[in-house]
């Protein structure tokens, strides 16, 4: 009886964690789109910088003040040699995501972000000469096909927004791959990652945001927008962006890898539906089919990767099997890919 009760509580905790993650993720995406489209605050660098500031403060409070997570100590030299390059890529990733939100609908942007597994595998194959099981390559076919179908049939297609989202996938993949080599020996969780990376990202982004968008912000303020509500929404999105990172950490420790993968793809579907209900961006039938194919492909990719990672080390080799067992797993920990 006690074991059954613990099992039920574990399931309930996992469901609540996933719902919390979905809520923060979808809310941040919708708020960012609202800032760019409804408030006419078309300054993605500034919005990203505010997010990093809020995340840095939030991580400091969680680790240093509330002591909810222990601090992972990193040598000062490693902070510049290892974490700074990742912070730079992390910064580019977030900025490109916000730039794409300015120009294309949430549904299209989220579908393109699902291309990240393909870009990661391709980058590791081209740059790092890693080999993957044929089943990994086969799982990428519906992802690529769905993206192509969605792009061709997208009624609100914008070249600049599409390129920003696509390069954002490359930045996400690069960040994940760099984590394997740069953070070797440091078992980072999402909160410690934000604790070290957000201050660097703020430092990198502050000057470009001030120089490139400062005059535009002054002009926007002169249009007499409702300053109090605008301030609340913009900084509120930054606070929720930090909460999203915290919720990712909670979900990772409450679910399995397969559950996380499936929940992540369902989260995209929830974000697409919510954005359509709020912004009413036109979606054709073939566009919806392309999005569905992409999400099914991502789920299949996650399943294949999980099955290969569970294969025992002594499994006999076949002509289709990579030579090294480490090559079964294309990513170190792509559970942490979904930061906003």
Domain limits for position 118: 106-186+255-310
Q: Which structure tokens are listed for 85?
A: 């390059």
> Does 41 map to a domain?
no
Q: Which structure tokens are listed for 160?
A: 């600049």
> Does 283 map to a domain?
yes
How far is it, in rounded angstroms, from Cα 232 to Cα 241?
A: 14
Q: CB atoms < 10 A from the CB of 61, how many?
A: 13
> Does 292 map to a domain?
yes
- Measured CA to CA in angstroms, residue 125 lies from 166, 175, 177, 304 at distances of 18, 16, 11, 17
> Does 140 map to a domain?
yes
Q: Which structure tokens are listed for 46?
A: 């500034």
How far is it, in rounded angstroms, from Cα 147 to Cα 142?
A: 8
Q: What's CA 338's distance to the chain center, in Å?
A: 2
> Does 49 map to a domain?
no
Of 55, 78, 65, which Cα lies nearest the Cα of 194?
Answer: 55
CA dihedral sign of residues 188, 190, 192, 198: positive
> Does 18 map to a domain?
no
How far is it, in rounded angstroms, from Cα 145 to Cα 241?
A: 31
The torsion of the CA quartet 62, 189, 164, 98, rounded to 10 degrees, works out to -10
Looking at residue 116, its pLDDT comes to 83
How far is it, in rounded angstroms, from Cα 92 to Cα 201?
A: 9
Looking at residue 258, its pLDDT comes to 57
> Does 122 map to a domain?
yes
Looking at residue 268, its pLDDT comes to 79
pTM for the model stands at 0.78
- Measured CA to CA in angstroms, residue 1 lies from 6, 13, 14, 15 at distances of 9, 18, 20, 21
Contacts of 102 (CB under 8 A, 6+ apart): 36, 37, 42, 44, 161
Q: Which residues of the chain have pLDDT under 50?
A: 316-340
Angle at 40 between CA 34 and CA 43, to 5 degrees: 90
The torsion of the CA quartet 235, 239, 244, 246, rounded to 10 degrees, works out to 160
Of 189, 212, 246, which Cα lies nearest the Cα of 54?
Answer: 246
Q: Which structure tokens are listed for 295?
A: 């999400």
Of 90, 242, 78, which Cα lies nearest the Cα of 173?
Answer: 90
Of 146, 165, 141, 118, which Cα lies nearest the Cα of 330?
Answer: 118
Looking at residue 253, its pLDDT comes to 65
Per DSSP, the residues of 208-254 read: HHHHHHHHHHHHHHTT---HHHHHHHHHHHHHHHHHHHHHHHHHHTT
Q: How many domains does the structure of the chain reveal?
A: 1
Q: Is 339 helix (H, G, I), strand (E, B) or coil?
A: coil
Looking at residue 314, its pLDDT comes to 53
How far is it, in rounded angstroms, from Cα 237 to Cα 229?
A: 12
Q: Mind listing the pLDDT tens digit for each residue in 200-251?
A: 999 999 999 999 999 999 999 888 778 888 889 999 999 998 888 777 767 7
**DSSP for residue 171:** H
> Does 71 map to a domain?
no
Judge contact between 230 and 43, C-beta under 8 A. no
Q: How many residues does the chain have?
A: 340
Looking at residue 1, its pLDDT comes to 60
Q: Mind listing the pLDDT tens digit for each residue in 306-334?
A: 788 777 755 544 334 444 433 333 333 44
How far is it, in rounded angstroms, from Cα 179 to Cα 194?
A: 13
């Amino acid at each position: 009886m006690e074991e059954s009760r613990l099992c039920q509580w574990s399931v309930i905790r996992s469901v609540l964690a996933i719902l919390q993650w979905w809520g923060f993720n979808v809310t941040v995406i919708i708020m960012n789109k609202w800032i760019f489209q409804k408030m006419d605050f078309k300054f993605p660098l500034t919005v990203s910088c505010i997010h990093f500031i809020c995340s840095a403060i939030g991580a400091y409070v969680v680790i240093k003040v509330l002591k909810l997570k222990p601090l992972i100590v990193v040598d000062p030299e490693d902070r510049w040699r290892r974490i700074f390059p990742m912070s730079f890529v992390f910064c580019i990733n977030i900025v490109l995501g916000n730039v794409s939100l300015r120009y294309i609908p949430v549904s299209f942007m989220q579908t393109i972000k699902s291309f990240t597994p393909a870009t990661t595998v391709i980058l590791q194959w081209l740059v790092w000469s890693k080999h993957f099981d044929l089943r990994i390559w086969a799982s990428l076919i519906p992802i690529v096909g769905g993206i192509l179908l969605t792009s061709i049939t997208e009624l609100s297609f914008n070249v600049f927004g599409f390129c920003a989202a696509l390069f954002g996938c490359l930045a996400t993949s690069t960040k994940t791959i760099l984590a394997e080599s740069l953070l070797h020996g440091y078992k980072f969780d999402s909160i410690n990652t934000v604790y070290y990376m957000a201050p660097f990202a703020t430092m990198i982004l502050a000057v470009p945001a001030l120089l490139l968008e400062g005059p535009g912000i002054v002009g926007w303020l002169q249009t007499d927008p409702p300053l109090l509500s605008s301030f609340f929404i913009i900084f509120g999105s930054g606070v929720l962006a930090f909460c999203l990172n915290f919720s990712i950490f909670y979900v990772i420790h409450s679910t399995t890898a397969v559950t996380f993968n499936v929940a992540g793809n369902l989260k995209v579907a929830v974000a697409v539906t919510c954005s359509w209900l709020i912004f009413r961006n036109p979606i054709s039938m073939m566009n919806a089919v392309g999005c569905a194919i992409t999400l099914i492909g991502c789920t299949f990719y996650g399943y294949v990767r999980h099955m290969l990672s569970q294969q025992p080390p002594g499994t006999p080799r076949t002509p289709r099997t990579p030579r090294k067992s480490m090559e079964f797993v294309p990513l170190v920990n792509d559970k942490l890919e979904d930061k906003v």
